[in-house]
Structure 1
Amino acid sequence: MAPTVSPFLDPGPYSSAHTLGILQLKRDHLIPIVLSDSSSTEYAEGNVVNTRFGSFTHSSLIDKPWGTQVLASVVDTGSRGGRSKKRKREATGDGNAAQEAVIKSEEPAKAVVRATTASSGFAHLVPPTPETWTLCLPHRTQVVYTPDYSFIIQKTRLRPGDHIIEAGAGSGSFTHAVARTVFNGYPGLEQPEEEEDQQVNGTNLRKRRRRQKRHGHVYSFEYHKPRAEQLREEITSHGLDPLVTITNRDVYEDGFCLDDENAPNADVIFLDLPAPWLALKHLTRSPPPPAVVRSVASDPSTPTTEHSTSTPQPPSSTKPFCSPLNPKSTTRICTFSPCIEQVQKTVAAMRSYGWLDIEMFTLEHKRLEVRRERVGLAEEGLRGANPSPATVQEAVQRLRDVEDRAKVFHGLQKEKQEQVMRRAEAKKRGQQVPAAGEESEDKKKIKTEGLPPSKHDRLERAKKCSESRPLFKEGRLVCRTEPEIKTHTSYLVFAMLPVEWTAEDEEKARRKWG
């Protein structure tokens, strides 16, 4: 039976029930959801995802093309079925079976109700990928983000069909990324092809067919048992279990070899460990000398970690040495360390065990925003502008305008007060006076004509002038960094271990090439 295709490998053109989907609210805010139809819940519209941008029902997310903008729905999640549940609890507490039967018979049949569209709020439904999963996965440890694992995959030359060892799986971000990279088909679906003899014109010709191809696989090791079990459940639910093997093991002591003779047979190694140099004694093609293992393990500069409370011992001589590396290809390794002291210890251990071309890189991934910066008081109140402080002349003129407006304001207030007093005196004498506010608009306009421009007037004037100005040509080009990119400080150490050249290989080469 063919395995179910993982949505991380081929999500298909449309979303479907009982599969993983990603609801993208903002660029850096994504929510993973397993879509379910209405049959798996007591509500007709299915489960509901409540966000700050509105409520989204699963029924509105199923059978939609990936990338669709989904509008929020109006769903009363607070009172749906609340009354019947309360009556059920009360009946169960009394222990009256007859009353329970009456209540159950009174319950109306489940009606198919379609959620109505809300007036605002939307989100985008995107397929699950290692990039989107890295931004929304449940964090159990610090994760390897996309800028880091993209560079690691490129630098280690990981390709489809390779086997990779990952030590320190953690939250599984790197596991999903490399599983997609090494995938070149599911194992067990292709029959191996053998050699056969074919007779042509009386001559027997041996026709050699292509052997069964090597399928890519990820061998992931995790020291913490609960994290290993949670990651195994996630990998199974995502349909990646045929490509990923999760092992709960202390690789410092027990190494990387498995019961299967063809596993791990690794081409690439990634170590995300507190002390990666303690695991290098297991990553050799032949058993290392005990003196070398002892010198690496007993170095006084080795920091104390949760795995290295005691001095590691070299592998036991009674147990035959088994190399987890692919003997037919060059093996490349990458270690992920947050401190430079860890890098120093790792590089020293790599040199002791024969690793070559050792390099160290650090990544700082930032997004640049290129725009034009317009500066000056003429840009006051305009969007995308940066008004500068005023000059001395502009500041003095601004103070004069404020004082002039204050004088006019106080003069109008004084005149208004005198008018009120005259009206009160005329009322005492019994004379008829005009009511307040009956002053003509022309008189008001004459009184305020000589006023200096206010801030509102200046903003309106700048807005009108900007309509006829080529703003895209004005200002100077500036570059600003965006600090919200998710990444962290890390030192990546890369090295390679070539194929071992034995005495038999040397003798064979001498016979062939003289």
Structure 2
Amino acid sequence: MEPTNETTTESSDTRPFKRSRFLEPSPLPSAGDLAILHVKRDVITPVILSTSTTTGYAEGAVTNTRFGSFPHSRLLSSPWGSQIRASKVDTGSRGRGKTPTTATEPVDAAAGFIHLLPPTPETWTLSLSHRTQVVYTPDYSYVLGRMEVRPGGRVMEAGAGSGSFTHAAARAVYGPGGRVYSFDFHEPRVEALRKEIEEHGLEEVVEVRERDVCTDGFEPVRNKVEAVFLDMPAPWLAIRHLNRGDATPLDPEVPVQLCVFVPCIEQVTATVETLRTSGWSEVDVVEVQHKRIEVRRERIGIHNEGLRGVNSSPANVDEALTRLREIEKNNVPSKAARLERLRQEASERKVYEDGELVHAPEPELKSHTAYLVFAVLLPHLDEDAEMVSVALELDGN
């Protein structure tokens, strides 16, 4: 049965848990859904799918890219992950009166395609509007894993910015009882993030608040948190407010995990000094350097002539001599006939298994993004609990 937004279960704080189509998309996209169009490796476009017929196109809503036009009617009828061919669309009526036409169904263009992808924190990070510096997948995936964030967990972030980490954290805690509390002092950013959270169906998981935590500290939240992420210019000012006091948002019964995202080593120094004087322990600094590796098959040889993405030069001396003998005997067919014969042969063999499997790192490596400062705030123990803890540790040794 297809999941819907109406499914609810009871969470640990008795509030209903609403399913999110952003994190649990149905097999087929629906009108109003967010879709990610993978145009090429570094070009990813977010689109709200529509059935509108007032766009000036006979086919209805259309998204235009450098590789062609794509009517939403075709996108809406295709499963997620499909490769979508570009279409010839009626553009004669745009900006003018209606052009009489009966061709409302998309017609395949000669070339061009995209891939239709469901939204995920990864694809959203690559396609969102940059309101501030973005925390990318290599960093936030390590942060969430290191802080052991899991379904039903409770996370607090300060410096929400563009909402990249917010979406990733929402997926990590997604489930009954899971909550993300997001703070930012900039009102336009807060309103923009709230709108995105509502559009993505994450309002039951994410709560966005406008507040300058460096000056005013953190507000009490509905559920005490067990992990904190800070991404701001002066995080040491916010760390002063993260303690075990009465009004703290931190869970008093468990160790609280902290990660601070800082771009330069001077900020690392100031942050670490504040952590050590504020009772935090296990302070550690990490830098994540991401390297993407391309894996492909390299096909070389004159028998690959005419195929896309191959090197049709002779693969060895024998192939070169064979071609020269054909030329000397005037036995070389026309290029058109030769290419047609090679295409026919290619259709009868598994071209994707030809060639040698090779790999290479991407030519432009993404270098430093930020330093990640981790720390743990242990719960307070009374004298009896501390003695029990010491005894257990001694027994373990």
Scaled to the shorter chain, the TM-score interval is 0.7 to 0.9
For 1:329, the aligned partner's letter is: V
| Separation of aligned partners in 2, 1:70 and 1:478 | 28
1:25 and 2:39 matched: yes
Q: Percent identity?
A: 51
The structure-2 alpha-carbon separation of the partners of 1:64 and 1:5, relative to structure 1 and needing over 3 Å to count, comes to: farther
SS for the counterpart of 1:279 is helix
Question: Residues 118-152 of structure 1: CA distance to partner in whole angstroms, max 9, x if unpaired?
Answer: 11111110100001111111111110000000110
Select which of 262, 286, 290 maps to 1:337. 262
1:14 and 2:5 matched: no
The CA deviation at 1:255 is 1.3
1:72 and 2:86 matched: yes
The CA deviation at 1:175 is 0.5
Please give the root-mean-square deviation of Cα atoms over the aligned residues, in Å. Answer: 3.2
Aligned residues: 328
5 Å-filtered alignment, 1:22-421, equals 22-38=36-52, 41=55, 43-77=57-91, 79-80=93-94, 82-83=96-97, 113-185=104-176, 215-258=177-220, 260=221, 262-263=222-223, 265-286=224-245, 321-369=246-294, 383=311
Find runs of 4+ consecutive structure 1 residues off by over 6 angstroms: 370-373, 507-510
Do the aligned partners of 1:38 and 1:59 also contact (CA within 8 Å) in 2?
no
The CA deviation at 1:8 is 2.5
SS for the counterpart of 1:181 is helix
The structure-2 alpha-carbon separation of the partners of 1:496 and 1:51, relative to structure 1 and needing over 3 Å to count, comes to: same
The structure-2 alpha-carbon separation of the partners of 1:340 and 1:240, relative to structure 1 and needing over 3 Å to count, comes to: same
| Separation of aligned partners in 1, 2:358 and 2:189 | 46
| Separation of aligned partners in 2, 1:344 and 1:506 | 31
| Separation of aligned partners in 2, 1:172 and 1:234 | 9
The structure-2 alpha-carbon separation of the partners of 1:228 and 1:15, relative to structure 1 and needing over 3 Å to count, comes to: same
Do the aligned partners of 1:38 and 1:46 also contact (CA within 8 Å) in 2?
yes
SS for the counterpart of 1:334 is strand
SS for the counterpart of 1:22 is strand
Select which of 353, 372, 378 maps to 1:498. 378
Do the aligned partners of 1:8 and 1:180 also contact (CA within 8 Å) in 2?
no
Do the aligned partners of 2:68 and 2:113 also contact (CA within 8 Å) in 1?
yes
Unmatched tracts of structure 1, length 5 or more: 85-106, 186-214, 287-320, 374-381, 386-448, 450-470
| Separation of aligned partners in 2, 1:183 and 1:7 | 12
Question: Residues 287-344 of structure 1: CA distance to partner in whole angstroms, max 9, x if unpaired?
Answer: xxxxxxxxxxxxxxxxxxxxxxxxxxxxxxxxxx511101121100000001001001
Do the aligned partners of 2:38 and 2:117 also contact (CA within 8 Å) in 1?
yes
Question: Residues 377-434 of structure 1: CA distance to partner in whole angstroms, max 9, x if unpaired?
Answer: xxxxx9399xxxxxxxxxxxxxxxxxxxxxxxxxxxxxxxxxxxxxxxxxxxxxxxxx
The CA deviation at 1:72 is 0.8
The CA deviation at 1:79 is 3.0
Do the aligned partners of 2:57 and 2:89 also contact (CA within 8 Å) in 1?
no
Do the aligned partners of 1:147 and 1:487 also contact (CA within 8 Å) in 2?
no
| Separation of aligned partners in 1, 2:65 and 2:53 | 23
For 1:59, the aligned partner's letter is: S
| Separation of aligned partners in 1, 2:265 and 2:92 | 53
With structure 2 as the length reference, what TM-score do the two structures score? 0.75
The CA deviation at 1:14 is 1.2
| Separation of aligned partners in 1, 2:383 and 2:129 | 51
SS for the counterpart of 2:181 is strand
The CA deviation at 1:28 is 1.9
For 2:90, the aligned partner's letter is: D
With structure 1 as the length reference, what TM-score do the two structures score? 0.58
The CA deviation at 1:5 is 3.0
Question: Residues 58-99 of structure 1: CA distance to partner in whole angstroms, max 9, x if unpaired?
Answer: 111003111111111111335346136xxxxxxxxxxxxxxx
| Separation of aligned partners in 2, 1:499 and 1:323 | 12
Do the aligned partners of 2:19 and 2:201 also contact (CA within 8 Å) in 1?
yes
Do the aligned partners of 1:17 and 1:36 also contact (CA within 8 Å) in 2?
yes
The CA deviation at 1:483 is 4.1
Question: Residues 463-482 of structure 1: CA distance to partner in whole angstroms, max 9, x if unpaired?
Answer: xxxxxxxx978xxx997431
Question: Residues 33-52 of structure 1: CA distance to partner in whole angstroms, max 9, x if unpaired?
Answer: 01011357565522111110
More helix by share: 1
For 1:268, the aligned partner's letter is: A
Unmatched tracts of structure 2, length 5 or more: 1-5, 9-16, 299-309, 314-327, 329-353, 391-397
| Separation of aligned partners in 2, 1:4 and 1:24 | 28
- Decide which structure has the larger Cα Rg and report it: 1
Question: Residues 346-376 of structure 1: CA distance to partner in whole angstroms, max 9, x if unpaired?
Answer: 1111000111111101011112357999xxx
The structure-2 alpha-carbon separation of the partners of 1:66 and 1:53, relative to structure 1 and needing over 3 Å to count, comes to: same
| Separation of aligned partners in 2, 1:34 and 1:141 | 23
The structure-2 alpha-carbon separation of the partners of 1:243 and 1:42, relative to structure 1 and needing over 3 Å to count, comes to: same
For 2:209, the aligned partner's letter is: T
| Separation of aligned partners in 1, 2:139 and 2:118 | 22
The 10-residue stretch of structure 1 (236-245 or 362-371) with the greater mean CA deviation from structure 2: 362-371
The 10-residue stretch of structure 1 (5-14 or 56-65) with the greater mean CA deviation from structure 2: 5-14
The CA deviation at 1:502 is 2.3
| Separation of aligned partners in 2, 1:505 and 1:169 | 37
Do the aligned partners of 1:7 and 1:127 also contact (CA within 8 Å) in 2?
no
| Separation of aligned partners in 2, 1:131 and 1:507 | 46
| Separation of aligned partners in 2, 1:478 and 1:5 | 42
